[in-house]
Structure 1
Amino acid sequence: MRSASMNKFMSWLSPLVLAVAAGCASTAGPAPQPVPVKVFVGAMFEIGQNTGDRAGEFQHWYERYWRNATPMPVKGALSPVYCNTDGVCGAVLGMGKVNSSSSMQAILLDPRFDFSRAYYVISGVAGTPPSRGTIGAVSWATWLVDYDLGHRWAPEENTAGAPTFMPRKGYEEYRRFRLNPDLVAWAMKLSADTPLKDSDSARTYRLRYPDTVARGAPFVGTGTHMTGDTFFHGPGMSRQAQYIAKLYGADDYVITEMEAAAITLVIKRTHGTDRVMSLRGMVNFDQGNPQETTLQHLDPAPGQTAGGFAETVENIAAVGTRVVDYIVVNWAQWQGGVPAAGAR
């Protein structure tokens, strides 16, 4: 049983505790509002720093949008997120399916960001078949196809010339994504005439290939981007990628990369895919020229590489920023969804 003096003390203490608690609440202020993301740019790697040295996939984006942005570390993501005052955010997600998609998932679930109306640009370098692309060219994906979700076996265990891949049942919702045709049409409308850089080394290297497209100048195009953790290479693997694209009803295979389908699956489960874009620049061919073996092409002698990497990463950002800037400037028309492709 409390004494009279104890009761008196408690009656004096209670108002004081309440007052202190109220004071703490008032000084803490309201919780900060999440950043309303308009466009998120995800790159896969950077070579060194985000600015001032040799540029990888992220640097040109960073220098355009986030020079003065404060890095925002995200638990579970490879690198910090950067955002500007216009609602353009970006990060380096990491190379490969697991690395990149786990980073994207962590960022999407961070309550400091509001992705409910966001558009996404999955951006990076890639390979291309010499029959469909060239060094320095840039491609918007119409389809994303996963190269790996199926059964494979050695060619010598099969009928000569027959496919050595069979899709695995149960992966129908994960193995391909058709990206919003209106959004792809907008991307091409806004960026197809972007002036693209080229290099003397790339011009010389292209002449090793007989294909008309491979020998031509860089351009902006579209097609299927094939996502595989394995760096598949050689004419046989290239034919298999094209076979898979056609098997799934997708457009021609034009890009080999390692992340886009996995990242898109993560986005789909959270916000859908209507606002996803995949943008890739071609820095290598997916096979050697007729005078070299696949292993020779994978491990070239000094001075025998394609060149053109620096120009290609500039081309990617030059093409992509046209679309990002247009969406941001015209946000009143874009925030509710992709306008009809014929409108402008």
Structure 2
Amino acid sequence: MSSVWSRRARWGALPAVVVLAAACTSVAPSRVAEPVKVKVFVAAMFEIGQNTGDRAGEFQHWYERYWKNAVPVTVPGALQPVYCNPDGVCGAVLGMGKVNSSSSMQAILTSPKFDFSKTYYVISGVAGTPPSRGTIGEVNWATWLVDYDLGHRWAPEENKAGEPTFMPRKGYEEYRRFKLNPELVGWAMKLSADTPLKDSDSARAYRLRYPQAAARRAPFVGTGTHMTGDTFFHGPGMSNQAQYIAKLYGADDYVITEMEAAAITLVIKRQYGTDRVMSLRGAVNFDQGNPRETTLQHLDPAPGETAGGFAETVQNIELVGSRVVDHIVADWPQWQAGVPPLPAR
């Protein structure tokens, strides 16, 4: 009898315990973390090895400046983690190519871990340049982003001699070109044009293979149209086609060939517009060979025949870009509502 009573007593006490636990749960404070308010987001496309301590790719110098002590934040759908510092500067490696990079950017922008409502973007990486307009080691801010791929193409032998072998495809007018905020480009140049840039003996020697005055210049900071294409095009014919497309779309001179910026910008535009987007590229190769080599020789150079200056260029990109990032963060009260007017000259 005592055994039955004992069981009933224990069962009878259970509801009180459950009620007490539920009450304690209902009054427990919420521990949901507030999203990081991102002031500047730096997007790189690849890193060669680790984020620090080895040969630097596009991300390492940024990482060492802003995120060496940061905890990586994993975002489902993004290629690599996002890093943030206490000042609201965040960054990540998005991946190479239009699909790879834009899908990472989309995942990061829609993550509840971040607040991008007032963010400025620096799309950063290495690139190529035509020898008539740029040089190895230069750093360039985009005025326009143009998609190289959205159109019709055919073989040159199937065309009249000297005529373009490209026709834009209708329906892509809002996707194929982006004019970046001229005020923001103006600020970028004002803050960074006089940045002392790194150079190397190997880059200097390589430039001398080209007769063009622009190709022989020392590294500098400039502006122009960045051409985004998944095709890694080479040769004077393809370079001329890129310039033709830039002019066809009403953009500035084509000066940089890269693989991601227009696609990433489209993702940002659909949610936040493009007024706060910057594209920053450093030239590590020419988009064509010198007069003494064929396009195939340039595309697949013999050992020791590649352009020098890669290590210096990825450092130059961060040296130039960080001037703008640091200024925006330091003067955040003036920048958070939008790009302030440029000071009168």
TM-score in terms of structure 1 length: 0.95
Q: Distance in 2 between matches of 1:138 and 1:103?
A: 25
Q: Which residue identity does 1:143 align to in structure 2?
A: W
Distance 1:275 1:343, change over 3 A: farther
Q: Which residue identity does 1:75 align to in structure 2?
A: P
Instruction: Find the residue that maps to 1:156 and give its secondary structure.
Output: helix
- Does the alignment pair 1:162 with 2:168? no
Instruction: Find the residue that maps to 2:71 and give its secondary structure.
Output: coil
Distance 1:10 1:245, change over 3 A: farther
Instruction: Find the residue that maps to 1:261 and give its secondary structure.
Output: helix
- CA drift of 1:20 comes to 1.3
Q: Distance in 2 between matches of 1:10 and 1:319?
A: 72
Instruction: Find the residue that maps to 2:267 and give its secondary structure.
Output: helix
- Does the alignment pair 1:120 with 2:121? yes
Q: Which residue identity does 1:63 align to in structure 2?
A: E
Q: Which residue identity does 1:315 align to in structure 2?
A: N
Instruction: Give the RMSD, CA atoms, in angstroms.
Output: 1.7
Q: Distance in 1 between matches of 2:17 and 2:115?
A: 39
Q: Which residue identity does 2:125 align to in structure 1?
A: G
1:121-144 Cα offsets, whole Å, 9 max, x none, are 000000000001000000000000
> What is residue 172 of structure 1 aligned with on the other side?
173
> What is residue 51 of structure 2 aligned with on the other side?
50
> What is residue 268 of structure 2 aligned with on the other side?
267
- CA drift of 1:29 comes to 2.6
5 Å-filtered alignment, 1:175-324, equals: 175-324=176-325
1:54-88 Cα offsets, whole Å, 9 max, x none, are 00000000000000000011100000000000000
Instruction: Find the residue that maps to 1:213 and give its secondary structure.
Output: coil
Q: Which residue identity does 2:277 align to in structure 1?
A: V
- CA drift of 1:270 comes to 1.0
Q: Distance in 1 between matches of 2:16 and 2:253?
A: 74
Q: Which residue identity does 2:260 align to in structure 1?
A: E
- CA drift of 1:267 comes to 0.3
- CA drift of 1:18 comes to 3.9
- CA drift of 1:31 comes to 1.5
Q: Distance in 1 between matches of 2:97 and 2:205?
A: 31
5 Å-filtered alignment, 1:27-38, equals: 27=28, 29-38=30-39
Q: Distance in 2 between matches of 1:140 and 1:217?
A: 17
What stretches of structure 2 of length at least 5 have no aligned partner?
Answer: 1-8
1:14-45 Cα offsets, whole Å, 9 max, x none, are 55434312323444534110000000000000
> What is residue 129 of structure 1 aligned with on the other side?
130
Q: Distance in 2 between matches of 1:343 and 1:27?
A: 56
Same amino acid, percent of matched pairs? 80
Instruction: Find the residue that maps to 2:215 and give its secondary structure.
Output: helix
> What is residue 103 of structure 2 aligned with on the other side?
102
Q: Distance in 1 between matches of 2:340 and 2:26?
A: 44
Q: What is the count of residue pairs matched by the alignment?
A: 338
Q: Distance in 2 between matches of 1:110 and 1:102?
A: 12
What stretches of structure 1 of length at least 5 have no aligned partner?
Answer: 1-7
TM-score in terms of structure 2 length: 0.95
